[in-house]
Amino acid sequence: METNRTIELNEEQRKAVEYDGKHLLVLAGAGTGKTQTIISRAKYLIGRDVSPKRILILSFTRKSANEIVERIKSGIDKSLASDLKGQTFHSWCMEMIKSNPNIFRDHDFTVIDEDDRESSFKFLCGKKFKNYNKKLISPILIKEVYSFAVNKLIPLSQSISEKVYDGFGKGSTEGADASDPETLQIQQTVEKEIQRVKPLYQDIIQQYIKYKKERKYLDYDDILNIVSKTLKKDEAARDALSSLYDHILVDEAQDTNPLQYELLTSFQEKCRLYFVGDDAQSIYSFRGADFNTMYNFTDIFPDSEKYKLTINYRSTQELLDLSNWLLSESIYNYDKELKARRGKGNIPVVINSDGDWIEANDITDRILLSTTEEGLSFSDNMVLSRSVFGMRRVEASCIEKKIPYVIYGGSGIMKSKHVRDIVSAMRIISNYKDELAWMRYLMLWQGVGEVRSARIINNIIGENTLDDCIAKLIQEGLEKVVSSVLLNIIGLQDNPGEAMQRVVELMGDRMKDIYKEEWNWRKDDFPILQELATTVGSISDFIAEYVLDPKAETTGKWKGKTEDGVIISTIHSAKGLEAKKCYIINVSTFAYPTSRAVLQGNAVIEEERRCLYVAMTRAMDDLYIYRNLKSAHVYTINQESEKTNEKYFLNNLPSSLVNSINLTNRTNSIVEYHGAPVEIDLEDSFDFG
């Protein structure tokens, strides 16, 4: 992981830290001390007599925001430290909504999470929702189209084009080359289809918006959208809230989406905005992040400038030469050549293999050699993959060779079924009109199925108080459920830690019955949950924080008896991580970029390039790039093969930048292994959450 090494400011960093203009975008290349720069900027401002409470730190996870704030506090007067605040965009906006009922009429609404949002769309669509071709339309796809449109600030038709038809069709911003007759025909066909299905999407989305309003729900996207739109329309509200800050410092600026930019424009007159990020690490377009916003920064925010950080503290120059070359091959002009402060080192290695298992075996062999012959820890090794699926064989090989490891990527603790079960009771206390929480809570108990729970909810949802709802439940013969849980926490709205402890104790026996042998490991999550509940002031605050956990929060799951483990991560979960030795899986034709990306056009191809760049720049000392010659991703369609091979990122790789090794036709291991073989069931060994 990224270390806390102390870095004296270089001239590039010092210039950025001491910037005295209005707004600034700091384009910080990989390993150039991005976090150090934003911390130093805050300390510099405080040293210039700016009050810490007039400085806001925004990041994309609570963890990173808190870490930045704690490191700033370590260098300032303790009497000032408590006034400094670090938040995510969503927790910041939720705080504004809750704290200003005179501005936001939605202040008493309950926030629903992604599972609840999916359930809502499924409920509204029913089981027979079909398009004009009699094909089922996925409720999840409609949800994604709606969310994408909100975050990108684009029309519904354009969102359908990009999320459903890979960027083809009317309104597409970055489609494939339309000069090709075949592509043009596809465009025209897709445009007609979009116009046919658009009313269906529109109808369900309108129903969903009405459904939320009736039940006093806000979803993840509403939080930003409501604040942004309110501040745009209400000048008095804009003046009042923007006057709270003098400086807003935004971390990971490359991950911001147009809605977040729109939100921050309401603060540009009274506040100085300070963005730090790397355009070459913009890899979240599927979430709505817009790569072009960084290039348009000076247009979006008048009186602004751009500075660059190019001195890398993480990697050796040989590793940077390869990543610099990768960017130089792009159609975009990044104009950023990274230079290694550490000097020279080992040349990256490209390894050609005959298959996934040979690749996984070679990686784990090298990991064992690094610990036995080089004296490294397992955690000095990191394996990177484009997808969770791609990590399976390496994970299986680690299990076979008894190598401890930690996985980054996948669902976090708050998305686990058992946690959501427990939290459903607290959600009811927070908002007794939370129909989805009632449904989940009631169906946990014996004798209450889907039909009965729906009838009960229909009977109680119109009541005026939670006490009235409980009275109706008692009439239904559910005294035990009510008395043992809800009645025990109904008076603990302002003591979420105690409420969580009681819920866990009272529901423990039922959870054990439901999860059986799984309960032994599932129950270990609840001490963490109780600890989290003690950090907030009310059950409502806990619920808000619980659902505000970012969608792609990096999750670590240890596999082994020690906390020294190999890091196995998806590239999208690896930003901020680093290791002495990095192994990138399957950097092959049809994988970087995929055939699908080639058909979608340059914008998608270039994001694939940035993914590979992020992976390459995690390495500190050694980089191994595996090219799988028999990858499962390889297609046989000649036309796609030709298009993809032309654009394959490593096609023109200069031999001077890498050493090459062939593992073709190899079946044996490169190390002698004395452990007993272990039978592996890949599905059982892989944690699906």
**173-187 burial code (b ≥16 CB/10 A, e <16):** ebbbeeeeeebeebb
User: How much is the pLDDT for 306?
Assistant: 93
What number is the average pLDDT over the span 300-304? 89
pLDDT in tens, 525-561: 787 677 778 877 888 878 876 655 433 333 444 444 4
Q: Can you spell out the DSSP letters for 304-349?
A: EEEEEE-EESSS-HHHHHHHHHHHHTSSS------EESS---PPPE
pLDDT in tens, 204-237: 999 999 988 888 888 889 999 999 999 999 999 9
What number is the average pLDDT over the span 374-380? 94
Give the H or E element holding residue 276. strand 272-277
What number is the average pLDDT over the span 109-123? 84
Q: Which one has a higher pLDDT value, 500 or 173? A: 500
Cβ 340 vs Cβ 652: under 8 Å: no
pLDDT in tens, 411-460: 555 667 888 888 889 988 888 888 888 888 888 888 888 888 888 888 88
pLDDT in tens, 143-163: 999 999 999 988 899 898 888
pTM above threshold 0.85: no
| pLDDT band at residue 164 under the 50/70/90 scheme | confident
pLDDT in tens, 291-300: 777 778 888 8
Q: Does 668 score more than 60 pLDDT?
A: no
∠ CA(201), CA(175), CA(387), 5° rounding? 80
Residues 6+ apart with CB under 8 A from 351: 359, 362, 624, 625, 626, 627, 660, 661, 662, 663
User: How much is the pLDDT for 182?
Assistant: 63
Cβ 571 vs Cβ 616: under 8 Å: no
Q: Which residues pair with 623 in a beta bridge?
A: 582
Distance CA 69, CA 85 (A): 7
pLDDT in tens, 3-21: 334 458 999 999 999 999 9
User: How much is the pLDDT for 670?
Assistant: 45
Q: Does 135 score more than 70 pLDDT?
A: no
| pLDDT band at residue 23 under the 50/70/90 scheme | very high
Q: Which residues pair with 58 in a beta bridge?
A: 87, 250
- Which of these, 474, 487, 416, 481, lies nearest to 447 by C-alpha position? 481
| pLDDT band at residue 378 under the 50/70/90 scheme | very high
